Structure 1
Amino acid sequence: MSGLLALFDDVAAIAKLAASQLDDVAAQAGKAGTKAAGVVIDDAAVTPKYVTGLPAARELPIVWTIARASVFNKLVILLPAALLLQAFLPWMLTPLLMLGGAYLCFEGAEKVWHLIVPHKEHGPQQAQTLEAAHLEEKRVKGAIKTDFILSAEIMTISLAQLDIDVFWIQALALAAVAIAITALVYGAVALLVKADDLGLHLSAEGRLAATRSLGRGIVTSMPSVMGVIATVGTVAMLWVGGSILVHGLHDFGWHLPYEQIAHMADLAAGTLGTGHGLVSWAVTAGLDGIVGLASGLVLIPIVTRAIVPVSSWLFPEKA
């Protein structure tokens, strides 16, 4: 009898340990996913444009196709690659993270620049000149390529936030982040791309005047909603990208940007006297965003006048 009780004690201890480690997985996943918020918002803001101009019946199948490719890229390609880098080439994580941060700064600054100096859009012309099937294939390939870049940044940022060395917890935490973020992004995208259809249905078929009014409100508000999401995505990209660059430089020994931003945040919080944590975070995020915007504006001519032409010359079939 005593042996059976001892066995039960061991099972209970193992169960408690397993529960504790699952809590570690959840905690690590939550911490890792939070820092990737800027990329997530941008992903959700960018993706709906890939179904613009295509038949309404194809919108959700296209979103589902991109989402499946996103899960595959994150779990099968990027997660093992990230863990291998962490295990064998950990010194590469900071440079890769900074490279991704520079990409975010470039993307965010380019959007700001295009607001100042509008550029000609080619999407509607392509929608008119390409057959629907060909256009859909082209759009899906472009979306998957963009998602792969953003997913790589999400996984790298997430891995950098993990502060536990247990391999299987790292793997499960990254897998949880990958699945949760993909579900969040493409669930939101599916709602966004079908919101107009829902609004039109309610406005035409609603039995109550309030329902029909709600439908009309959804239809008329969607352009503004998409504009707000795009703006938030741009700001988040600049904030996260700038923060990554500042922390990366700090890790490499150039402490001035990091220390000056921390000093100014503490000074602002101390001056106001209330809400120290919130004020400190807001000032830090704002200054990181300024660093991100400045870095991105510097990168725009480098990318457009050097990297893109060289890439087109080396890979003419991709141009």
Structure 2
Amino acid sequence: MAGGLAALLDDVALIARTAASNVDDVAAAAAKTSAKAAGVVVDDAAVTPRFVEGVSPARELPIIWRITKGSLFNKIIIILPIILALNALAPWALTPLLMIGGTYLCFEGAEKVFEMFSGAQHEKEEESAAKDEDALVRGAIMTDLILSAEIMVISLNEVADQSFWMELGVLLTVAVAITALVYGAVGLLVKIDDIGLRFQQKQSDAAKRFGSVLVKAMPKILNTISIIGMFAMLWVGGHILITGSDTLGWHAPYELVHHFEAGVEHLGGFVQWCVETLCSLVFGLVVGFIVLGVVHLLPFKRH
């Protein structure tokens, strides 16, 4: 019920998996698990460019490379052994762990919504710009650790009933592929304005116009990705909590969403998809604001 981009990529992954089923089961399973984690991936790609805002252009790619290496370390060295051990020794813990991550996603999404309407985001960006490079990298890797943990747990949840070696192969593939995808895209994004400036320096009027379009479009692109990431966190987090609560015995949220889906079934799959997505997003937003309220009442300031 994740809906949105996650559902679209899931359908694409399913087609790819069917076509490759006789060729490479690990790659096919990795494609599907990656699609399930698409909402978190979008958020990861949306968050990272902000860590290099205000940084010298010459240092942007080196910083992103440092974050990329940290992300691989997070996924393969820290997270992978822990979740494989949990799946082998205490598989019952995976759903609660997934729900904890889902709650965090809801909280982060709700916080972004709050910042969007309160103007707090601008203050946070000014604070980030004042940090030195090492602090920026540490902050980005810590954020990545949380998002990577969610990606890896979502992925493991899709192959939790497979053999150990299948799980290991799929998770390693997901770790490397998603890291390359996210930080490759981030590297391209942060350099689009530089590419535009180079085109503006050419003699051709057409090249100059193209360069101006790239430079002017870049802030809008980043803002759009940020908004997509915000809603992706809410719908994926809400979906995780709805399905997780159903698995643990609290069926009301899942049954309510299913009731809404059944009510529009005659209108077609697209309308059902919209209902699924909206229900997960609203549920995630409600949970997120509850957690946000609790966090703001705690006797410490969140950095």
Q: Same fold by TM (over 0.5)?
A: yes
The answer to whether the Cα contact below 8 Å between 2:26 and 2:169 also exists between their aligned partners in 1 is yes
Shift of 1:95: 0.6
Find the aligned partners of 1:296 and 1:235 in 2 and give their Cα distance.
Answer: 12
Find the aligned partners of 2:127 and 2:82 in 1 and give their Cα distance.
Answer: 39
**Letter of the 1:238 counterpart:** L
Which residue in the other structure is 2:12 paired with? Answer: none
Which residue in the other structure is 1:198 paired with? Answer: 195
Distance verdict in 2 for CA 1:98–1:146, change over 3 Å:
same
Distance verdict in 2 for CA 1:125–1:252, change over 3 Å:
closer
The answer to whether the Cα contact below 8 Å between 1:31 and 1:162 also exists between their aligned partners in 2 is no
Find the aligned partners of 2:129 and 2:189 in 1 and give their Cα distance.
Answer: 20
Q: Does 1:299 align with 2:291?
A: yes
Unaligned runs of 5+ in 2: 1-19
The answer to whether the Cα contact below 8 Å between 2:87 and 2:160 also exists between their aligned partners in 1 is no
**Letter of the 2:197 counterpart:** L
Q: Please give the per-residue CA displacement for 1:141-184, whole angstroms capped at 9, x wherever unaligned.
A: 10010001110011011111226421111111011111111011
Distance verdict in 2 for CA 1:124–1:170, change over 3 Å:
same
Q: Please give the per-residue CA displacement for 1:58-113, whole angstroms capped at 9, x wherever unaligned.
A: 00000000001111111122111111111001111011100000000000011111
Partner secondary structure for residue 221 of structure 2: helix
The answer to whether the Cα contact below 8 Å between 2:45 and 2:182 also exists between their aligned partners in 1 is yes
**Letter of the 1:266 counterpart:** A
Find the aligned partners of 1:184 and 1:269 in 2 and give their Cα distance.
Answer: 35
Shift of 1:31: 1.4
Which residue in the other structure is 1:232 paired with? Answer: 228
Which residue in the other structure is 1:26 paired with? Answer: 27
Distance verdict in 2 for CA 1:152–1:22, change over 3 Å:
farther
Name which of 170, 174, 178 aligns with 1:173: 170
Distance verdict in 2 for CA 1:286–1:20, change over 3 Å:
closer
Distance verdict in 2 for CA 1:125–1:156, change over 3 Å:
closer
Q: Does 1:286 align with 2:278?
A: yes
The answer to whether the Cα contact below 8 Å between 2:21 and 2:28 also exists between their aligned partners in 1 is no
Name which of 209, 215, 218 aligns with 1:213: 209
**Letter of the 2:66 counterpart:** T
Q: Please give the per-residue CA displacement for 1:270-298, whole angstroms capped at 9, x wherever unaligned.
A: 1x2xxx33322221111000000010011
Find the aligned partners of 1:126 and 1:282 in 2 and give their Cα distance.
Answer: 36
Partner secondary structure for residue 54 of structure 2: coil
CA RMSD of aligned residues (A): 1.9
Find the aligned partners of 1:125 and 1:98 in 2 and give their Cα distance.
Answer: 31
Larger radius of gyration: 1
Which residue in the other structure is 2:81 paired with? Answer: 80
The answer to whether the Cα contact below 8 Å between 1:269 and 1:277 also exists between their aligned partners in 2 is yes
The answer to whether the Cα contact below 8 Å between 1:268 and 1:280 also exists between their aligned partners in 2 is yes
Which residue in the other structure is 2:43 paired with? Answer: 42
Count of equivalent residues: 283
**Letter of the 1:121 counterpart:** E
The answer to whether the Cα contact below 8 Å between 1:108 and 1:296 also exists between their aligned partners in 2 is yes
Find the aligned partners of 1:199 and 1:153 in 2 and give their Cα distance.
Answer: 35
Shift of 1:250: 0.2
Task: State how 1:177-192 maps to structure 2 within 5 Å.
Answer: 177-192=174-189
Find the aligned partners of 1:165 and 1:22 in 2 and give their Cα distance.
Answer: 18
Which residue in the other structure is 2:17 paired with? Answer: none
Find the aligned partners of 1:247 and 1:20 in 2 and give their Cα distance.
Answer: 27
Identical columns (%): 48
The answer to whether the Cα contact below 8 Å between 1:159 and 1:174 also exists between their aligned partners in 2 is yes
Shift of 1:124: 2.9
Find the aligned partners of 2:70 and 2:116 in 1 and give their Cα distance.
Answer: 31
Name which of 150, 154, 166 aligns with 2:151: 154
Find the aligned partners of 1:182 and 1:245 in 2 and give their Cα distance.
Answer: 25
Shift of 1:126: 6.1
Unaligned runs of 5+ in 1: 1-18, 313-318
Find the aligned partners of 1:217 and 1:127 in 2 and give their Cα distance.
Answer: 25
Find the aligned partners of 2:154 and 2:295 in 1 and give their Cα distance.
Answer: 23
**Letter of the 2:182 counterpart:** V
Of stretches 107-116 and 92-101 in structure 1, the one that deviates more from structure 2 is 107-116
